[in-house]
Structure 1
């Protein structure tokens, strides 16, 4: 599948002129140009641009971010997984937060990768990453300081999540993940996608701030078993065209995030309350 510059800009929440600048200055452009000279981005191109957005958002200079964005996350060997116990999880949270407050990105990345490798995405996400990121977010809200800490911590978790090998063999697209229009918090979708990779399921993440028409078009073209839309505030959730998306045959529609709390949903919309429930919904839809 390929994407137009406008579609990619909408997925990533950047201006089309930004994509053009990154292409001209740093070579982060599309792999395909049509006979008519039109630019088309492949999935791998979009992945590089997503890393570019994360890095520049952390304050990394555009030239340095372009070099880092081209580097694929290292793939760690899989080992038997065991859930984190409460004491180990608490210790890991303290270590992660201490590294975050020192702006020690290598330490955070290493810790995040080891937690995922040893204990799996769900356990690491629910017992370490979410509580730590919530605490950092509250620090920013209470003091107005520490945005750089929160961004660097989120980037470290993202890098670790993307180290999980993704299924690439031909088959049904198990899940299409997307943020609601103007929703910018897309790290939870990456956690869900990484957990699906552990299950050997194919998935795609459209990323942040996906316009309603772009989401509808993607569901129509890709025909995923499950389309899941994330929103963390009600005013963002209300912008999702649930009725139109639910009319697509063969695709189960699901929503997740605090933004859906208290909203009346059509009966055909699934509302998994936890990461585990979302995984189960998607895996059950694509099991033999």
Structure 2
């Protein structure tokens, strides 16, 4: 399957400008073009860019990160279950798209549960579920219709992610997950929560549109090790008073989502750009 630059940037949580820069400077660009001259990324090229994002987030210089990103297997998410190959991921995405076109939410749910069971949350989300949502969003943008398909698909995926068993017992609260005020996109946080459950880490989610005061009150009462604040849109990210939150908690603050791209954040705030990186940052705090 091929992807537009806009879709790739959305999947990776980076700006289209960053994508163009990496193409121009390091040759991490698309090999295909449509008959009309539009650029299209193939799955293996998206995986190279995914490795580039992870490496630069770890502090690797961009030129060196680009070199390593071209090496197969340079960066991989934690293996869970059977390997999810590129061919299998493409086939799975076609199955999800067909179910969505039929408005078959129960089948979307079953497909997602089966995929997560066999391959784990991280692989399922990065290789199939999130690209599937991006493709639906692209269709709505092109056709000016189909929002009901997108919403139904999101509901099916939400059910599947919440089907991952929550850890038993008590202990440290690894992460508190919250959306920025007025932010309504919650699925990426649900994916992180499900991935934490797979790692036997306790977490709680405050959901969409979390007022700052409510988040501050929750921080004081729950005392999580990590706080993850998701923003899909830059204007919404700008409404989060990160310095004020720091005064209320000793927790590590993570600013996650494409809305934080280009937003200046304090030095104490970490900026994960992939599910793998966000998961690892939480695990680093609770597994010392």
Q: Same fold (TM over 0.5)?
A: yes
User: What stretches of structure 1 of length at least 5 have no aligned partner?
Assistant: 1-79
Rounded Cα–Cα distance in structure 2 between residues aligned with 1:83 and 1:237: 35
Is the Cα contact below 8 Å between 2:219 and 2:249 reproduced in 1?
no
Partner of 2:224: 224
Is the Cα contact below 8 Å between 2:220 and 2:249 reproduced in 1?
no
User: Are positions 1:143 and 2:121 aligned together?
Assistant: no
Partner of 2:234: 234
Is the Cα contact below 8 Å between 2:224 and 2:251 reproduced in 1?
yes
Deviation digits for residues 41-74 of structure 1 (CA, Å, limit 9, x no counterpart): xxxxxxxxxxxxxxxxxxxxxxxxxxxxxxxxxx
Deviation digits for residues 149-181 of structure 1 (CA, Å, limit 9, x no counterpart): 111111111111111110131100000000000
Rounded Cα–Cα distance in structure 1 between residues aligned with 2:264 and 2:92: 38
User: Are positions 1:263 and 2:274 aligned together?
Assistant: no
User: Are positions 1:98 and 2:98 aligned together?
Assistant: yes
Is the Cα contact below 8 Å between 1:183 and 1:232 reproduced in 2?
yes
Shift of 1:249: 4.2
Matches within 5 A, 1:98-177: 98-177=98-177
Partner of 2:63: none
Task: Give 3-state SS (helix, strand or coil) of 1:203's partner.
Answer: strand
Shift of 1:250: 2.8
Rounded Cα–Cα distance in structure 2 between residues aligned with 1:253 and 1:109: 32
Rounded Cα–Cα distance in structure 2 between residues aligned with 1:260 and 1:200: 28
User: Post-superposition, which runs of at least 4 consecutive aligned residues in structure 1 deviate over 3 A?
Assistant: none
Rounded Cα–Cα distance in structure 1 between residues aligned with 2:250 and 2:264: 23
Matches within 5 A, 1:52-63: none
Partner of 1:277: 277
CA-atom RMSD, angstroms?
A: 1.0
CA 150–249 in structure 1, closer or farther in 2 if over 3 Å, else same = closer
Task: Give 3-state SS (helix, strand or coil) of 2:83's partner.
Answer: coil
Task: Give 3-state SS (helix, strand or coil) of 1:266's partner.
Answer: coil
Partner of 2:206: 206
Task: Give 3-state SS (helix, strand or coil) of 2:248's partner.
Answer: coil
Partner of 2:194: 194
Shift of 1:217: 1.0
Partner of 1:82: 82
TM-score relative to the length of structure 1: 0.71
Partner of 1:215: 215
User: Are positions 1:254 and 2:243 aligned together?
Assistant: no
Deviation digits for residues 171-193 of structure 1 (CA, Å, limit 9, x no counterpart): 00000000000000011000000
Deviation digits for residues 214-242 of structure 1 (CA, Å, limit 9, x no counterpart): 11111111110000100011100011110
Partner of 1:54: none
Task: Give 3-state SS (helix, strand or coil) of 1:174's partner.
Answer: strand
Task: Give 3-state SS (helix, strand or coil) of 1:255's partner.
Answer: strand
Shift of 1:246: 1.6
User: What stretches of structure 2 of length at least 5 have no aligned partner?
Assistant: 1-79
CA 104–188 in structure 1, closer or farther in 2 if over 3 Å, else same = same
Rounded Cα–Cα distance in structure 1 between residues aligned with 2:111 and 2:172: 33
Rounded Cα–Cα distance in structure 1 between residues aligned with 2:215 and 2:273: 22
Rounded Cα–Cα distance in structure 1 between residues aligned with 2:188 and 2:171: 24
